[in-house]
Structure 1
Amino acid sequence: MKKVAVFGNAGGGKSTLSKRLSQMTGLPLYVLDKIQYPSGNTEVPQEEYQHIHAQILATDRWIIDGFGCTETLWLRLNEADSLVFVDLPLYVHFWWVTKRMLLGYFNPPEGWPQNSPILKSSLSSYRVLWLCHKYLNPKYREYIQQAQSIKSVYHIRSTAQISQFFELIGNRANHRNSASA
């Protein structure tokens, strides 16, 4: 696990998962929302974002969290050696977007750029939920089905599987550490 793409619908806990995975593995974490919207409200030009994305892909080790744009999404998934697809039931994504919006007024959401407009961003997430669920998730599922023979694929379909994922990663890290001792 050296190049990890974490992706899925809005409000699935991808940023929290990515941060914890980075802490466990020591891999550098790149949050696409923070790259695209460094001030929280202003988007960098598309060419600049794509250039930064290409520079990250050219490195040997990374975790990339988020969607970015269609042009960079499939490049990233192809380049990754490990795919973490957060594919929770739609109602969980909806609830977590709502929870993030409510709590975001007191504490900025994990992985969000500073000064992000909480209400505007949350409303955007609500609009994306159904579209991603209906159109993009089936493409993701097809992609990971084909990729599982050549990549490590983690298809997280329930909140319980999030904990199981971290147990698995922790066990692998412990096994590597004991083998090298």
Structure 2
Amino acid sequence: MNKVIVIGSGGSGKSTFARELGERTGIEVIHLDQEYWRPNWEKTPTDEWEAKVAVMLERNSWIMDGNFGGTREMRMRAADTIIFLDLPRLICLYRILKRTIKYYGRSRPDMTAGCNERFDLEFILWVWNYPNATRDRVLSAVVEFPEKSFITLRTNAEIAEYLHGVSVNDGN
């Protein structure tokens, strides 16, 4: 396990999981939200974003958390491990609400400075619709890479058990 992508709905815990996995393995963590968003929630232009992701993928090892469907295939191709956090939508929505309240008006630690947390109805609807609108596309994409180690974690207990079983040696 040297090149890991962590995917899942907003609020599934991707950034927290990636950070903890990075601490256990010593592998660099790349939060895609932090790399993509510019201050005041300005998007990185598509061609620039794809080039930036391509450069990050060339590193010897990494743990990347985030969705960004436009670069999902290139990230899956480069990864040796794909971890899908497939938590229930109500848990994801609860976490989004909790995160919004905690960081409201300021940036989260895993987000670009100047991207202040806010109530975002469009994002909440995306999280609500994720199981029906996005989940199947993600799973279909994974099928295209049978040589990859694919891990689905569906509960907080499964996440904790997985992280408990990871050692520093897993990052070498």
| Range of TM-score over shorter length | 0.7 to 0.9
Residue 176 of structure 1: how far off its partner (Å) = 9.1
Alpha carbons 2:108, 2:116 under 8 Å: kept: no
Counterpart residue number, 1:116: 115
The answer for the alignment partner of 2:72 in structure 1 is: 73
Question: Gaps (5+ residues) in structure 1?
Answer: none
Cα displacement string for residues 25-72 of structure 1 (whole angstroms, at most 9, x for unaligned residues): 12111111111113252222221111110011122211111012x221
Distance between the aligned counterparts of 1:23 and 1:152, measured in 2? 20
Q: Does 1:169 align with 2:170?
A: no
Give the alignment's TM-score, normalised by structure 2.
0.88
Alpha-carbon distance in 2 for matches of 1:20, 1:43 = 27
**Paired residue for 2:44?**
44
Q: 1:154 aligned to 2:146?
A: no
Change (3 A) 1:154 1:118: same
Matched length: 172
Find the counterpart in structure 1 of residue 10 from structure 2: 10
Q: Which of the pair has the greater relative contact order for Cα pairs under 8 Å at 6+ separation?
A: 2
Contact 1:36 1:44 in 2 (8 A): yes
For structure 2, the 5+ residue unaligned runs are: none
Q: Distance in 2 between matches of 1:165 and 1:80?
A: 18
* Counterpart among 127, 130, 155 of residue 128 in structure 2: 130
Distance 1:164 1:49, change over 3 A: same
Question: Percent sequence identity over matched residues?
Answer: 25
Give, in whole Å, the separation in 2 of the partners of 1:176 and 1:38: 30
Which structure would you say has the larger Rg?
A: 1
Contact 1:15 1:110 in 2 (8 A): no
Query: Secondary structure of the equivalent of 1:83?
Result: strand
Between Structure 1 and Structure 2, the one with more helix by share is: 1
Does structure 1 conserve the Cα–Cα contact (< 8 Å) formed by 2:27 and 2:171? no
* C-alpha separation in 1, matches of 2:163 and 2:54: 28
